[in-house]
Structure 1
């Protein structure tokens, strides 16, 4: 049967001598939950001699959506990928290497993410099967919509991602004919022109593994001769698409560290000396002169600064000496001088070498080990007791100059710097090792929120807490963080506390709320104490006896109970259209409860936000704001038949929690074709 509707995804698999891993690779694409009609698989046999072509033909006989192309060997993965791109018809393309495989739900999740967030590139979480290195930092959490300047996405330039095909065709992207690094400039160009990037981190999408026969291109084409053209194209791609300045420096830094300094240090010493001197060294030097700006130079680590300096100064012999002894030189100690820490490399302050101190300055890169072991209220006022331990790697004990810093988030205000007590402060053992830190690393402080700002109370807003750690005259500032978590991976926030109003003239009650961010950093929010809401929702459920009717119930305060006629349950769509239904109040045991029944089946299709309105108190100008009907995890979707619309089935389902916290329902007709498709798929399964 000819395909009449384009597939959502074209999966492109380049294959060369890929047995036996190939079979699992292809079947993982065939068995995706996205559905057979949504996927086309284009497998390119690139002149294999081990039965890869025959296995692809066998698999194609079992799957009508698998198309096999046989071609002469091109020498790399870029050629067959380009063949696949020329044939692809999907809304998206996904490049799957023939030794890897997909999680069953990978493509469905990635396509849904791209559709919902209108993003052009989606990264699916990668998993190592047998120790093969995969990126991990970018997959710490889901990122619905981001870019290369706001995330760690640019750390992974492999092409094993979902790309919107219109982006690839608009840019005219194809893979260069290189054996190694051919995918980096392709992915870089897509990243830098993408209308949004998404990261799916809560599902294992892509399983990466080494081949049993060891013929991965990353191993067989690892030498500099196979890397230089791809590296040059990486630098040129960034220069083409990003204007000079801090944004370009941030992107260039990745290539300077990974494509320039890394291979030079690890590979150049092993090349033939004539090749190294006459062929590779001039190219490395050209990149250092052209692309390593002062902004990039300041961001890279001292070993890389030293390499760049020697390249710029055209000192080949010194550069080779540094590269050959890089591993042993990494273990050399440090020197503290005038508040800075320097790497004691043999070239450091050697008059014959004349290398600037900046090439050895590691002050801002020494790890700061610290942990907030206690954050608790003390006494009756706004006094928050903090204690923990901290040290700077390779340096001595904490010094009295260590300070606690409060920094306002989003509101202009000078930093508040407070002294801490260092040494001999009670502290808890490390949660992981059970060992107590040295007393010389302990600190403690009492933060009086009623008088912290030069005797004045802390102002409204969110204040982030930092610790300026000082050891041997060296200072490093870090966010004050609690590393340990409970069994569920969370942290216990100190309870909110109402502060004294005497020190806040003209102000009503104020509440301080200490809290830990998802990364464990401590912050304090200062806000006027909110008035008690006029009502509290305790029930949100579908009425089993009336299809398409939502029941919302709860209790109201005494003030609201005096005017129950003013209360309504309101549903409002994205265009401002609203429907309201009255609330019925009843009293029992000294409490007043309410119930509202919303006929969702009568709402037009759309996204409807639900709130409770208590109205104004008669005879006054006072008016309570809307109270969100909370998002309830136990509330599922429901369906009904709409007699006024030819008996067509409709559904309503709660959408993910919105920023304002109110329950949002999507009301829409059931797509009969999609429903029938799901039903048939369920019967087949």
Structure 2
């Protein structure tokens, strides 16, 4: 792989940066380091030459100053020969095992872009949301990856060359269009979150480009190219709106609010304002507008309406106005901005409506079975910020995941705030009787995600029930799986309920009726909602001779003979339980039969067809965003699960929706 380091007057940080690449556990026999001295005058070039004397894998290029980091990165790209490329800024440095972990993640999951966990050194801001947990395979529509557009990532070089990607010659925002184009065309994105990969720091002399080229004049070209890149690779619709939202918030509204008032009057009115207005008119659709927070909606509205003076007033008083409170009116919450319902300003209420954004503070503190029955008790605290105590009409909602069923509401008992909890939060308790919760009927099979409908002052907010607290091992403990009395009869299998926490701490419940006791080792088959188009197969070995030799892999075999295998991961506690994760999105169109493979090819075990397993859909960015689907078919060999994988026929799907 190739590590590209652009360097301009980067001493003394440059030494640690380069040596961190030289000391990678991946090994210098697998790494080429291309350091480009971009006309430095502080001795950076001499330091690179010194380091290269003792490292044959380090190649140093000296060139006249180009004015930004994009030029030396392009020089490095032109020389790179590795399967992967990693861009390492000269201010920063790598964790020793970073590249090995990122390359392994890309190889194992066939992904084109890998994000390694970033760490702040000296207070420099780094993204955090995307690094909450490892994500073997995801995309920009299913994760927070698009919130970070810096180029400090691992890229598959074939993707860069296929798109003919190079960095534009801008001093600021030059990496955002590059990374955006790679994201939107990548066949999968991975996230390494369990290891500190990339250490980001400010230079001692304070001459980071992000600081010295922070004015609007250095941002405008890069911002324009960001919008054009998204419009080039994504057609109009909700998917484009979600991506455009990021640029509207961070590249349009943020800089306008913070930087436009600093410009001279003529420059602001005649040069910058027309560009901001053109972007608002061209790229902020009604779908994007609905996704924005009220302060950004107000800015966009004033741009569209060509109200320069009012816009500048809003920008100049942004900090003061951000601290103003809210007004509750007829179940809606509005930002108490001076323009709100001012007849002279005539700004629509929607520009101030913050109902769906006002913070809900809540925590699941207790989850436990009551006695030996089918009742699950959930307790904690919740409240809507600044709106006072909870109303007795607050409730728990059980919402089906991956199948159709109406939401199920369960009343909550509301009490006073628990000790140590400040603000408007009040205690809630909910007893969920799984034998009668569905209008007197037992809770049906499938995964149920739990939500809180939190109500105060006539305002209702529905949020995912979650537990943010973890133990010393950074884990959350859910109640044990339980055999339910309802629906279980001797000789007819059993119904089980398995409460669990997702990696983000959200609480869910999996209910399964097993039918007759399973003849094989597979005990569970479900789609993983945290990893799109990933089928999770779980099981447990028994003493049945049919399970020997023990299975080692989950195998998908196409009718034409293609095969994809993923390993079975056995629990370390000796319980002989296993799980396997099949990335169905990697399967090409066709019919795929699923079995458990062993060391003896003659002893493959059928993965049984799963009752109630729904189909799934996903988008392939490398196929211009075309949707694909996988659905189970009946009649597989020896009862095995068969999946049909195919692209969605858009015309047929549209006819079904209209019909």
User: TM-score when scaled to structure 2?
Assistant: 0.79
2: distance between equivalents of 1:292 and 1:227?
19
Q: 2:471 aligns with which of 475, 480, 486?
A: 486
- 2:203 pairs with one of 174, 198, 211: 211
SS state at 1:67 partner:
strand
Distance 1:428 1:459 in 2: 34
| 1:510 and 2:495 are equivalent in the alignment | yes
Partner of 1:454: 439
CA distance in 2, matches of 1:36, 1:346: 61
What pairs with 1:252-331 in structure 2 (closer than 5 Å)? 252-331=244-323
* 1:92 alignment partner in structure 2: 84
Alpha-carbon contact 1:403-1:420 (below 8 Å) kept: yes
Displacement of 1:68 after TM fit?
A: 1.5
**Residue in 1 that maps onto 2:218:** 226
1:102 is aligned to 94
**Whole-Å separation in 2 of the counterparts to 1:608 and 1:236:** 40
Deviates more, 1:127-136 or 1:455-464: 455-464
Determine the C-alpha separation between the residues in 2 that align with 1:238 and 1:471: 40
Deviation (angstroms), 1:177: 0.8
Alignment of 1:90-489 (within 5 A): 90-424=82-416, 429=419, 435-436=420-421, 441-489=426-474
Cα pair distance change 1:280/1:36, threshold 3 Å = same
**For 1:533 and 1:504, how far apart are their aligned partners in 2?**
15
Cα distance in 1, alignment partners of residues 581 and 487 from structure 2:
35
Aligned residues: 565
Q: Is the 8 A contact 1:631 1:663 kept in 2?
A: no
Q: Check whether the contact 2:24–2:99 (CA below 8 A) recurs between aligned residues.
A: yes
Q: Secondary structure at the match of 1:204?
A: strand
User: CA 1:436–1:342 in 2, change beyond 3 Å: closer, same or farther?
Assistant: closer
- Match among 551, 566, 580 for residue 658 of structure 1: 580
Alignment correspondent of 1:22: 14
Is the alpha carbon distance of 1:217 and 1:368 closer, same or farther for their aligned partners in structure 2, counting shifts above 3 Å? Answer: same
Secondary structure at the counterpart of residue 570 of structure 2? coil
The one of the two structures with greater contact order (alpha-carbon pairs below 8 A, sep at least 6) is 2
Distance 1:101 1:286, change over 3 A: same
Say if 1:58 and 1:306 are closer, same or farther in 2 by CA, change over 3 A. same
CA–CA distance in structure 2, aligned partners of residues 440 and 202 of structure 1 = 33
Mapping for residues 25-64 of structure 1, pairs under 5 Å: 25-64=17-56
Alignment-derived partner of residue 569 in structure 1:
549
Alignment match, 1:83: 75
Aligned-partner SS, 1:465: strand
Structure 2 portions without partners, runs of 5+: 522-539, 558-562, 583-593, 601-659
Please show how residues 476-625 of structure 1 align to structure 2 within 5 Å: 476-501=461-486, 509-528=494-513, 556=543, 568-569=548-549
Q: CA deviation at 1:100?
A: 1.1
How far is 1:143 from its partner?
1.2
Residues 281-340 of structure 1 deviation map (CA, whole Å, 9 limit, x = unaligned): 000000000000000000010000000000000111110110010001011011100100
The Cα of 1:213 is off from its aligned counterpart by 1.1
Give secondary structure in 1 for the equivalent of 2:475: coil
What is the CA distance between 1:506 and its match in structure 2? 12
Secondary structure at the aligned position of 1:348 is classed as: coil
CA shift in 2, pair 1:443/1:79, >3 Å: same
Following superposition, the deviation at residue 178 of structure 1 comes to 0.7
**Consecutive unaligned residues in structure 1, runs of 5 or more:** 1-8, 430-434, 537-552, 578-605, 611-627, 636-653, 668-685
Conserved 8 A contact 2:487-2:494: no
Cα separation, partners in 2 of 1:437 and 1:500, compared to 1, 3 Å: farther
CA contact (8 A) 1:609 1:665 kept: no
Q: 1:631 aligns with which of 546, 554, 570?
A: 570
Tell me, in whole angstroms, the C-alpha distance in 1 between the residues paired with 2:138 and 2:185. 13
**Which whole-Å CA distance do the structure 2 matches of 1:107 and 1:173 have between them?**
22
Q: Determine the C-alpha separation between the residues in 1 that align with 2:556 and 2:352.
A: 61
2: CA distance, partners of 1:220 / 1:100: 17
**2:551–2:598: 8 Å Cα contact kept in structure 1?**
no
444-453 vs 189-198, which moves further: 444-453
Give the direction of change, closer, same or farther, for the CA distance of 1:494–1:110 in structure 2 (3 Å limit).
closer
8 Å contact from structure 1 (residues 508, 528) kept in 2 = yes
- 8 Å contact 2:552–2:597 — kept in the other structure? no
21 and 528 in structure 1: CA distance in 2 versus 1, 3 angstrom threshold: same
SS of the aligned residue for 1:14 comes to strand
Where 1:309 maps in the other structure, the secondary structure is: helix
Deviation at 1:23? 1.1
- Counterparts of 1:267 and 1:422 in 2: how far apart (Å)? 47
**Separation in 2, partners of 1:405, 1:29:** 50
Give the number of the structure whose alpha-carbon radius of gyration is greater: 1
TM-score (norm 1): 0.76
Bigger CA drift: 20-29 or 513-522? Answer: 513-522
Superposed displacement of residue 248, structure 1: 0.4
Q: 1:261 to 1:203 in 2, by over 3 A?
A: same
Q: Offset at 1:510?
A: 2.7
| CA deviation string 1:606-641 (max 9, x = no partner) | 99999xxxxxxxxxxxxxxxxx9x725499xxxxxx
Are the equivalent residues in 2 in contact too, given 1:400–1:420 (CA < 8 A)? yes
- Following TM superposition, by how much is the alpha carbon of 1:272 offset from its aligned partner in structure 2, in angstroms? 0.9
Aligned-pair distance for 1:534?
A: 8.2
Against the structure 1 CA distance between its residues 486 and 127, is the aligned structure 2 distance closer, same or farther, given a 3 Å change threshold?
closer
